[in-house]
Copies of this chain bind each other. A is one copy, B any other.
Amino acid sequence: MINNILITGAGRSSGALIDYLSRFSVESGWTLTVADVSLEAARSRTRGHSNAKPVAFDVHDSEARAEQVSKSGIVISLLPPQFHQLLAEECIRQGRHFITASYLTSEMRSLDEQAKKKGVLLLNECGLDPGIDHMSAVNIIDRLRTEGAVLKAFRSYTGGLVAPESNDNPWGYKFSWNPRNVILAGQGTAKYIYEGKFKYIPYNRLFTDIEMISVAGVGNFDGYANRDSISYRKTYGLEHIDTLLRGTLRSPGFCRAWNVLVQLGMTDDSYLVTGLPDLTYASLIRSLLPASFDSISDLREAVASFCHLPSEGEAISMVAWTGILEDEPVGIPDASPARILQHLLEQKWVLKPDDHDMIVMQHRFDYVKDGLSKILYSDLVVQGIDSVHTAMAMAVGWPLGIVTKLLIEKKLNLTGVHIPVMKSIYDPVLAELEGLGIKFEERTTG
């Protein structure tokens, strides 16, 4: 028996997972290998964990891939999504389980039959969102069904935010995960079901199509649609539901201000801004404004006029706060507007060592039972503990860790390609998460 767990990727959200699995593996006699392209990153994550070993690892190196997978019974990938397939294919070849928090792709799905033949589990979407959201939602959907309720609408919103006491900027936002993903969030076309109609929301309208979401104890949020909700009809067993929407939460006002940046084209990652020596943020914004606004000499006024917003209003003030209207050098050559925006916001939306992040999730179930219409809300609020145990790192890492433990303890007997919507996963994972302080609060109205 090969009793080693391989974690690939030692980034921002790996700390809580490594701590969790290190503790468990000491108890169970397993070891842990943390593999990253930067040996230094792997070293800093494994420091103080006697049974965890850092290694330098390039996922593109097929020999290194084969070697590390061969030495491990279970592989957890925290790498960027585009690298999962390489690892999953190697895991199938060598008969190892593979777990990730990333969205299931059709490419990954196509490995289902091979995985079953080899007795291997390829588990995807097993982090926070996607992950805990699926488990907690399907748990309630299954319960309501057992109780004889008919579900009419399901909405689920999640946000990775900053805790109120650590908020010192008008966006109510700091980076608690990969900044690039935050900048590019929502690109593509969002899809959901609303009152019996499919809805397709192009990116350029995404941040105007928002809903206000109230969560007890933490207040109101902007909610906007996240990716393809329609595909979860089948996954959740809700083929005939009238409304099905997964979304993302941001502080109130965030979406309106972010939309200014989207409309300007600052989140465009499709081309490089080149041939402009001495490029400043202000000159880039001028380049993005239609020529008809060139006659407005004050840039803030020009942007406000372009967006049909008051120049002293909240949204434009938030945009101005970032510094993007200033005549300051951009300082990075040949980058896309999105990369330039990321560079700027990485200096502004910093989660400082003493700051706490916060996860907020809300499910809303509209159902009919015994002839009565009711609404059930299930809310989750998690605050970060420190800069390693951020709410994000715990909420993404722990589900991965708990499933790994279930596999090692032979408490999970599942093969093929899956996401965690089955009782055999969500029951033990939600129970252990609750013990760790990740606990939903329910209330029913109507």
Contact = CB atoms under 8 A, between A and B. Distances in A.
Interface of A: 188-189, 191, 194-195, 197-202, 204-205, 208-209, 230, 263, 265, 268, 270-271, 273, 275-276, 283, 286-288, 290-292, 294, 337
B202 A268 contact: yes
Contacts of A265: 189, 200-202, 205
Contact of A286 (B189, B197, B268, B288): B197
A257 to B, nearest CB: 18
Interface centre among A198, A294, A337 (most CB of B within 10 A): A198
Contacts of A194: 291, 294
Contacts of A202: 204, 265, 268, 288
Given A265-B202, A288-B200, A188 B271 contact: yes
Contacts of A205: 263, 265, 290
A47 B294 CA distance: 57
A204 B263 CA distance: 8
B287 A197 contact: yes
A286 B195 CA distance: 12
A200 B290 contact: no
A189 B271 contact: yes
A290 B211 CA distance: 12
Nearest to A306: B205
A118 to B, nearest CB: 31
Query: Top 10 nearest A-B pairs by Cβ distance?
Result: A204-B204, A202-B265, A198-B287, A194-B291, A209-B290, A200-B287, A189-B271, A200-B288, A197-B286, A199-B287
B204 A270 contact: no
Nearest to A291: B194
A276 to B, nearest CB: 6
B188 A290 contact: no
